[in-house]
Structure 1
């Protein structure tokens, strides 16, 4: 199985729209629920501008030539990046998220000079937490999501990776 990353393009938008609109993906992510009919197009317009500014690198996860999800590398501050990702349900439980995260971290280190990464995931999202742990992230603080946010009242956890100590 070949897992590769490439920048998201307009041809990916129908599959992004399809997968992110599914309850299986949206319930563990920060995407709006329900996902608006033109949500993928709006997201693409925003991340394209952020990419031009060098702040956001939205990648398609491609498995044996098939679109399987998305992983973004974002510039948070000097030397620090963040990753966010989702994998389409037909590709779950095949270590695709782990391989995509490894490649995204490698990109951030080699191409953007990041020495640290951070992210957040819901405590109940054990699959995503497992991906982060496999690639070397360490658990950070647990906190309750604020009122007015999508997952208000749920518990989330920060994760940090000091890439200087990571084997990736």
Structure 2
């Protein structure tokens, strides 16, 4: 599925490695080359938290989105209580747009935060 979505140009998934160890995933999803937008999503494994890995991986994904795909706007969301995720996004220039409540999924009824980055 990941390969098919990449071939379609709608999703780009990157593995995050540290010293050859799997540390997480960084992805550009809902890529729209006409609108020049995408969603930046990621997950960092707990043993790798608070080491700057997410910040660096996001930096690289953002560079790919803006320079290789010529996108203009990236969006992201995280739990409002997840200070680490907020920090990763804010360190990379994302600005908070608003809070919202997740309507379904594993975070149902939790408060989330939407952010956006313009090229």
Contact 2:28 2:40 in 1 (8 A): yes
Counterpart residue number, 2:20: 65
Post-superposition Cα deviations, 1:55-86, rounded to whole Å, max 9, x if no partner, equal 11110011122221100012443211211111
Deviation at 1:102, TM superposition (A): 0.1
Counterparts of residues 4-153 of structure 1 (less than 5 Å): 46-77=1-32, 78-146=35-103, 148-153=104-109
Deviation at 1:51, TM superposition (A): 1.1
- Normalized per residue, the structure richer in strand is 2
> Tell me, what secondary structure is at the counterpart of 2:26?
strand
Q: Name segments (4+ residues, structure 1) moved above 4 Å.
A: none
Worse overlay, 150-159 or 97-106: 150-159
The number of residues matched between the two structures is 117
CA RMSD of aligned residues (A): 1.2
Distance 2:66 2:20 in 1: 25
Distance 1:106 1:82 in 2: 14
For the pair shown, which has the larger CA radius of gyration, 1 or 2? 1
Post-superposition Cα deviations, 1:123-164, rounded to whole Å, max 9, x if no partner, equal 111110110000000001111111x4321111101000002x
- Normalized per residue, the structure richer in helix is 1
Cα pair distance change 1:110/1:75, threshold 3 Å: farther
1:157 and 2:108 matched = no
Distance 2:53 2:115 in 1: 19
Q: Structure 2 unaligned runs (5+)?
A: none
Deviation at 1:48, TM superposition (A): 2.1
Q: Structure 1 unaligned runs (5+)?
A: 1-45, 164-168
